[in-house]
């Protein structure tokens, strides 16, 4: 390790003061600080300014004068090499390598760029102080150290930063869990106080001394000059005690964790001075996510799991869900080939599937699926209740295609279109009368499928919504209110946890079995029915 490797890299205003401190020490050790200073102080031997010798006759310098000038230039280059030893690529471009730019000139250039005392720079440092937050006891040294460094930055800028402000910011960032709130209250009560009456235009070089600016007319009690030192010492001691207790307890979470799991402190603790966000592996720059609809601060665009983000769909909880969805989609997309009809036993499971191929171009499928299980022991009370109701149609949100039991209900019927469902035949139009609220409405049903094995019609809620119907389910009493394009039609009562619709299908007139009908434009087409046995259980896939 070289003797100058301890100097931190100068990248900007945030590292300038730490770099300046180490370079000042290095120049003093090498006896080159005199090439930076521009004042002559008899009491400061190392800091007494050294200037380039000037010959008596600039046109004809003597040998001794030339030797003195040469030695001074060599020493000045040594000082300049220390100053420019550890710079980022951007900072290196500010200083010329020509010997006409002396070490003093390079020092002044860097000071003018990064040692600003304007209000903007002071605001950035104050904002960095405000966002500091101590995570737990293991983060105490990092938290206190950042406070001391930022306070020193303000003092070097000549800003007015009192000891009372430093103590307030230090206590404000303590954890809000565990024993820290009680510790904060105790240290506030026991903090030594005094009345400040002095006036100072510029504070000392370190916030730890507490000699800072205060108005001359102020008589309000302020923390004493050693208050910041006392707070730092007490916080460090309390954190050390909590860490020791945790170690003695076998590493189990202590009271300061508020029964939460132990989390390691941040490796860098860096904070974006503009956004105030901490920098970590999911947000290296400390910026807000720019993904549309996200804008969160715990990650950036490259680490965003939302749609359009850099890691869209790669979240651990989304991978399993995506695999499950693909499996279900593949299972639903498989259509068994036609098979010869076979006699099934009375107590079997019958699966009804209905679909159309019109939506394949848009990768959508119109599905109506039901699993029907026949029970040998029928509850006669339930059966009589349903039969007494006189309704053969119920509302269902799991069907999307009309399934009708009786072929005579079809006003037009064609066998030209192939149907891939074994339990349903072909599709055409039907007409029915909907009785609700004492009024009767004629309803036209389009593209209905003939399902002779069905026993109850399932009216698709989804298809009704797409055609302008509103189905509002209410409680007390249980019912479903039907609204068509803003017009309230009435309520459908619920019985046996099902909504039965009084829908009467009109058979095709005998005089015109296959004519094209001109129906009134009252409520538009409804679709989707499927029949089930009144005593059956229904699952939708």
Instruction: Indicate the DSSP class of residue 360.
Output: G
Q: What is the per-residue pLDDT for 175?
A: 92
| Alpha-carbon torsion (136, 141, 144, 149), positive or negative | negative
Angstrom CA distances, 96 to 49, 101, 103, 106, stand at 22, 7, 11, 8
Q: What is the number of alpha carbons within 13 Å of residue 318 lying toward its C-beta? A: 9
User: Starting from the edge strand earliest in sequence, which strands make up the sheet with 487-495, in order?
Assistant: 457-460, 393-396, 498-501, 487-495, 479-484, 469-474
Residues of the chain scoring pLDDT < 50: 1, 194-225, 254-268, 331-335, 340-376, 378, 380-381, 383-389, 513-530, 532, 535-541
Convert the pLDDT of each residue in 505-522 to its tens digit. Answer: 887 776 554 444 444 444
- Contact by Cβ (8 Å): 76, 107: no
Q: What is the pLDDT of residue 233?
A: 87
Contact 533, 489 (CB under 8 A): no
Name the H helices within 30-102.
63-83, 89-92
Helix-helix angle 163-172:227-248, to 10 degrees? 20
Bond into 477 cis (ω within 30): yes
What is the SS3 assignment for 195?
strand
Strands of 336-466, DSSP E: 349-356, 366-373, 393-396, 403-404, 427-436, 439-450, 457-460
Helix (H, G, I), strand (E, B) or coil at 427: strand
* Closest alpha carbon to 25 in 83, 81, 68: 83
User: How many residues in total does the chain contain?
Assistant: 541
pLDDT value for 328: 53
> What is the rounded CA–CA span in Å between residue 182 and residue 178?
9
Report pLDDT for 344: 43
CA distances from 303 to 264, 267, 277, 322 (A): 21, 19, 15, 19
Which DSSP state fits 520?
-
Q: 530 vs 401, 440, 541, CA distance in Å?
A: 8, 23, 14
Answer whether 261's CB lies under 8 Å from 277's CB: no
What is the residue whose two structure tokens read 């003597």?
62
Instruction: Please give the Cα distance from 103 to 206 (Å, whole number).
Output: 27
Backbone φ, ψ for residue 395 (5° rounding):
-80, 140
Strands 498-501 and 487-495: antiparallel
User: Phi/psi of residue 132, each to 5°?
Assistant: -65, 135
Alpha-carbon torsion, ordered 221, 225, 230, 233, to 10 deg = 150
Q: Are strands 193-195 and 221-223 parallel, antiparallel or unpaired?
A: antiparallel
Tell me the per-residue pLDDT of 426-485, one tens digit each, with 9 for 90 and over. 667 788 888 887 888 888 877 777 777 666 777 778 778 888 888 888 888 888 888 888
Question: What's the half-sphere exposure (Cβ side, CA atoms, 13 Å) at 120?
Answer: 5
**Residue 271: DSSP 8-state:** B
Burial code of 202-230, b = ≥16 C-beta within 10 A, e = fewer?
Answer: ebeeebbebbbbbeeeeeeebbbbebbbb
Please name the residues in contact with 198: beta carbons below 8 A apart, sequence gap of 6 or more: 214, 216
Contact (CB, 8 A) for 432 and 495: no
Residue 402 and residue 430 in contact, taking contact as beta carbons nearer than 8 Å: yes
Positive or negative torsion for Cα 22, 23, 25, 26: positive
Q: Which helix or strand (DSSP H or E) is residue 504 part of?
A: strand 503-506
Burial class (CB in 10 A: 0-12, 13-18, 19+), 235: buried
Which three-class secondary structure state does DSSP give residue 10? strand
């Amino acid at each position: 390790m070289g003797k100058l490797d301890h100097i931190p890299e100068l990248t900007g205003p945030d590292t300038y003061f730490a770099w300046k401190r180490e370079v000042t020490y290095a120049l003093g050790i090498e006896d080159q600080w005199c090439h930076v200073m521009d004042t002559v102080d008899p009491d400061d031997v190392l800091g007494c300014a050294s200037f380039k010798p000037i010959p008596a006759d600039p046109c004809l310098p003597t040998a001794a004068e030339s030797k003195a000038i040469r030695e001074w230039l060599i020493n000045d280059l040594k000082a300049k090499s220390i100053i420019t030893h550890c710079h980022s690529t951007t900072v290196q471009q500010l200083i010329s390598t020509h010997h006409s730019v002396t070490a003093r000139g390079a020092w002044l250039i860097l000071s003018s760029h990064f040692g600003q005392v304007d209000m903007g720079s002071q605001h950035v440092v104050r904002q960095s102080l405000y966002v500091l937050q101590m995570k737990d006891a293991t983060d105490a040294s990092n938290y206190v150290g950042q406070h001391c460094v930022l306070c020193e930055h303000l003092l070097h800028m000549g800003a007015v930063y009192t000891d009372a402000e430093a103590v307030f910011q230090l206590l404000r960032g303590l954890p809000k869990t565990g024993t820290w709130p009680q510790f904060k209250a105790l240290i506030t009560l026991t903090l030594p106080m005094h009345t400040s009456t002095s006036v100072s235009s510029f504070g000392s070089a370190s916030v730890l001394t507490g000699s800072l600016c205060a108005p001359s007319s102020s008589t309000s009690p302020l923390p004493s000059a050693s208050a910041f030192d006392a707070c730092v010492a007490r916080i460090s001691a309390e954190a050390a005690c909590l860490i020791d207790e945790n170690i003695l307890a076998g590493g189990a979470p202590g009271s300061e964790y508020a029964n939460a799991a132990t989390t390691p402190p941040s490796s860098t603790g860096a904070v974006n001075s503009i956004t105030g966000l901490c920098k970590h592996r999911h947000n290296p720059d400390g910026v807000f996510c720019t993904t549309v609809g996200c804008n969160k601060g715990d990650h950036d665009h490259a680490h965003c799991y939302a749609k359009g983000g850099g890691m869209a769909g790669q979240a651990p909880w989304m991978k399993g869900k995506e695999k499950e969805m693909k499996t279900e989609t593949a299972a639903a997309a498989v259509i068994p080939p036609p098979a010869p009809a076979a006699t099934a036993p009375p107590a079997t499971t019958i699966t009804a599937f209905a679909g159309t191929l019109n939506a394949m171009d848009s990768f959508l499928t119109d599905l109506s699926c039901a699993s029907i299980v026949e029970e040998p022991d029928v509850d006669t009370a339930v059966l009589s209740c349903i039969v007494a109701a006189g309704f053969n149609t119920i509302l269902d949100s799991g069907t999307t295609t009309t399934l009708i039991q009786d072929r005579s209900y079809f006003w037009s019927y064609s066998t030209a279109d192939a149907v891939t469902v074994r339990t349903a035949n072909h599709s055409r139009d039907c007409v029915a009368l909907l009785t609700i609220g004492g009024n009767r409405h004629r309803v036209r049903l389009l593209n209905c499928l003939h399902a002779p094995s069905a026993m109850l019609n399932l009216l698709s809620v989804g298809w009704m919504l797409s055609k302008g119907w509103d189905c509002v389910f209410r409680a007390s009493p249980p019912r479903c209110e039907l609204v068509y394009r803003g017009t309230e039609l009435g309520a459908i009562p619920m019985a046996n946890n099902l909504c039965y619709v009084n829908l009467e299908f009109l058979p095709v007139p005998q005089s015109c079995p296959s004519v094209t009908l001109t129906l009134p434009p009252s409520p538009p087409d409804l679709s989707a029915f499927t029949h089930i046995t009144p005593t059956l259980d229904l699952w939708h896939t």
